[in-house]
Amino acid sequence: MTDRPTRPSTTEDTPAAPGWVEDSVDALFAALSVQGAGVQALRAAYLDCLAAGGAEAGDLDVSHDRCRRVLLTGLTGPERLPRAEARALELALETLEAEISARI
C-alpha cells in the first residue's frame, strides 16, 4: 500500500492564475458599475481561461484574446456593462495580459 492519494487533489489537476493576476482582476472588477453573481461568475471564468491558456501550448496572446472577448461579451450582453466602461476594462485587461506574457 502507498501513502499517495488515489486521486489527485484539485490543486494538482486544475491550472490556476498566479495570485498577483487574481488580485489585479479583483481590483478591476471592484471598480465596475455592474456587480452581482453573474459578474462574479464571468470573473471566475476569465481567471480559469487565463490559467488554462497558460497551461496549453500555443500562442498565449491568442488565448488571452479569446478569454477577454468571451468576458466582454458576457459583461456587455447579459450584465449590461456600459460600452465606454467595457472599452476601459478591455484596455486594462490588455495591459494585464501583456504583463502576464512578459512574466512567462
- Residue 25 near residue 43, CB atoms below 8 Å: yes
CA-based nearest residue to 43, from 19, 63, 68: 68
Which band of pLDDT confidence, cut at 50, 70 and 90, is reported for residue 55? low
Domain boundaries defined on the chain: 18-103
Mean of pLDDT values over 45-49: 96
pLDDT digits (tens, 9 = 90+) for 66-104: 999 999 999 999 999 999 999 999 999 999 999 998 987
Q: pTM score, two decimals? A: 0.81
CA angle 27, 48, 12 (to 5 degrees): 120
Residue 61's nearest CA partner among 30, 15, 94, 22 is 94
Question: At which residue does the C-alpha cell 459578474 appear?
Answer: 39
